Chain A
Amino acid sequence: MIFGMDLGPHADFIVAAYAIAAVVLVLMIGWIVLDHRAQKQKLAALESQGVTRRSERAVERLA
C-alpha cells in the first residue's frame, strides 16, 4: 500500500516511473529558475558598470 493505494505486484515499476518523472521535472524547473536568477544578476552587474544598450542610451538622451 502506497499513499493508500494498492499498486499490486508491480508497485516498484509504478513508483520508479513517478519518482523519475518528479526528479526530471524538478531539475527542469530548478534549472530554469536558477538560469533566470543568474541572467538577471549578470545584467544588473553590467548595468551598474554603466554598460547599457543603444535603445536605453537613446531614451536617456531624449530625456
Chain B
Amino acid sequence: MALIDYANPTRFLGFAERVLPWLIGITALAFVAGLYLTQGAPDDYQQGATVKIMFLHVPTAWLSMFGWIVMSIAALGTLVWRHPLADVAAKAAAPLGAAFTFLCLTTGSLWGRPMWGTYWVWDARLTSELVLFLMYLGVIALWHTVEEPSRAARAVAILTLVGAINIPIIKWSVDWWNTLHQPASVVKLGGPAIHPAILTPLLVMAVAFTLLFVTLHIAAMRNEILRRRVRSLMLLRAQAAPGSAS
C-alpha cells in the first residue's frame, strides 16, 4: 500500500490501530535505556551533576522546533495539496509542540539558575524560544476560535507558515547574536563537542522523546478524526430532527 493511501481517514485509523501498540512498546524501551544511561553518565567537569538536566532540555528543545516543522509541512498540505489529513496532523501537533516547548523553557530555566545565577535572561535564544511557545498558544487558540474545521485549517496554515520564520532564528540565534546561552554543541560543523560518555545518553534520550512525539501525534490524529466524525454525525442528527430548516 502506498503512503498516499493513508490520506483516507478510515485507512489511517486502521494504520494507527496496528502501529500504536508497537510504537508504545519501542518508546517505553527507549526511555528505559535512556534513563539507565542518564543515571550512569558522569558529571561534567564544570557543571557537575546539573548536566543531567541537559538530557531533558536538549531533546525537548529539538522537539519544540520539530513540532513547528511538522505543522509547517502540514500547512503546505492544507494550502497546496489539500490533503485530507493535513489539517488533522497540524491540529494534533500543536498541543504536543506547546508541551515540549514549555518543558524546554522550564528545564532550561532550572539549569540556568545554578549555572548562570539566574532563571531567565532576555537573550536571543531564550526570547525566540518563548516566542515559539506563545505562537503555539496562538495557533491552539485560533483552532478553537473558528468553529468550522476547514476554515480554521486555512487560517492556521497561513499563521503557521508565517511563524516558521522563527525556526531558523531559534537555531542560529546563538551564532547571529552574543547570547548567554551556549552555542550549538551537538549539531555543528566538525562534529559534536561533547564527550561520548555524555553524548550517548543524550542521543538515546533524544530518540526516546522523538518516538514519544511520533506516538502521541498518531494517537492525537486518531482522536481528531473521531472528533470530526462525532461532529458530522451530530450535524446529521440536527438536520434530521423534526422542525429543522433543511
Contact = CB atoms under 8 A, between A and B. Distances in A.
Contact of A32 (B111, B219, B229): B219
A10 B234 contact: no
Tell me whether chain A's interface is mostly helix, strand or loop, or mixed: helix
Given A5-B49, A14-B53, A39 B110 contact: no
B223 A13 contact: no
Contacts of B11: none
B102 A24 contact: yes
Given A35-B223, A39-B223, A28 B110 contact: no
Interface of B: 39, 43, 48-50, 52-53, 56-57, 60, 95-96, 99, 102-103, 106-107, 110-111, 113-114, 212, 216, 219-220, 222-223, 226-227, 229-230, 232-234, 236-237, 240
Given A10-B114, A43-B226, A43-B230, A28 B216 contact: yes
Contacts of B230: 39, 42-43, 46
Interface in A12-54: 13-14, 16-18, 20-21, 24-25, 28-29, 31-33, 35-36, 39-40, 42-43, 46-47, 49, 51-53
Nearest to A11: B49
| Interface of chain B: mostly helix, strand, loop or mixed | helix
Contact of B114 (A13, A18, A40): A13
A21 B103 contact: yes
A3 to B, nearest CB: 7
Contact of A39 (B50, B216, B226, B236): B226
The 10 A-B residue pairs whose C-beta atoms are closest, nearest first, are: A39-B226, A10-B114, A8-B49, A46-B233, A7-B49, A17-B110, A17-B107, A42-B230, A51-B237, A17-B53
Contacts of A4: 39
Centre residue among A24, A43, A51 by max chain B CB count within 10 A? A51
Contacts of B50: 8, 10, 13-14
B49 A28 contact: no
Given A20-B106, A53-B232, A13 B226 contact: no
21 contacts: A9-B48, A9-B114, A10-B114, A13-B110, A14-B50, A14-B53, A16-B110, A17-B53, A18-B56, A20-B107, A21-B60, A25-B99, A25-B212, A28-B216, A31-B95, A46-B230, A47-B233, A51-B236, A53-B229, A53-B232, A53-B236
A15 B96 CA distance: 23
A35 B57 CA distance: 28
A53 B232 CA distance: 8
A6 interface: yes
Contacts of A33: 219
A7 B13 CA distance: 45
Contact of B56 (A8, A17, A39, A53): A17
A39 B212 CA distance: 22
B223 A36 contact: yes
